[in-house]
């Protein structure tokens, strides 16, 4: 007989109960990975998944090959949505609005296919896909800005400059 005491394995049910005690609003969770999400987080994740499936269906219409992506890990997806809300200060509405813009962009719709990628690229996406950025570049606020200097008279040297 060994002199080591028996190492008791943590009871899965007890771990889940403790987890739910700490996070009573969790509807999907993994105590082992410390991931969880509320019903709103899960609903948002499911909405993103529907948009992604729609992109795959659109692609299938073009090339005739139907490829369905693997079902996501809902706990991981809901957890990432929750972190975007809690740590990054975003709302579920903002997350959905951003992904709507992503799904309409020919480049980003192929490169952002999960909440974790959306979170990782959020700042860049905000700049590149923001409707206000494109309208700002079309209209300059500066009244002295000249798109062309063809009509500027350079013959007069301002005071204080050598000629």
Q: Are 146 and 111 in contact (CB under 8 A)?
A: no
Q: Residues 122-158: pLDDT tens digits?
A: 999 999 998 775 544 445 556 566 566 677 676 777 7
Report CA torsion sign: 66, 69, 70, 75: negative
Residue-level pLDDT at 145: 61
Mean pLDDT in consecutive groups of 10 residues from the start of the chain, 163 residues: 54 87 96 96 98 91 80 98 98 97 96 98 95 55 62 73 68
Largest Cα separation within the chain, whole Å, is 104
At 84 the pLDDT is: 98
């Amino acid at each position: 007989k060994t002199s080591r005491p028996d190492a008791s394995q943590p009871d899965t049910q007890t771990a889940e109960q403790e987890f739910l005690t700490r996070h009573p609003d969790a509807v999907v969770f993994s105590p082992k990975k410390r991931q969880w999400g509320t019903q709103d987080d899960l609903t948002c994740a499911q909405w993103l998944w529907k948009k992604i499936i729609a992109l795959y269906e659109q692609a299938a219409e073009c090339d005739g090959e139907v490829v369905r992506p693997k079902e996501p890990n809902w706990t991981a997806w809901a957890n990432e949505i929750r972190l975007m809300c809690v740590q990054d200060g975003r709302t579920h509405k903002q997350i959905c609005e951003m992904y709507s813009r992503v799904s309409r962009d020919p480049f980003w719709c192929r490169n952002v296919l999960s909440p974790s990628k959306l979170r990782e690229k959020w700042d860049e996406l905000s700049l590149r896909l923001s409707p206000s950025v494109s309208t700002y570049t079309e209209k300059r606020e500066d009244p002295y800005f000249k798109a062309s200097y063809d009509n500027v008279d350079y013959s007069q040297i301002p005071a204080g400059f050598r000629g």
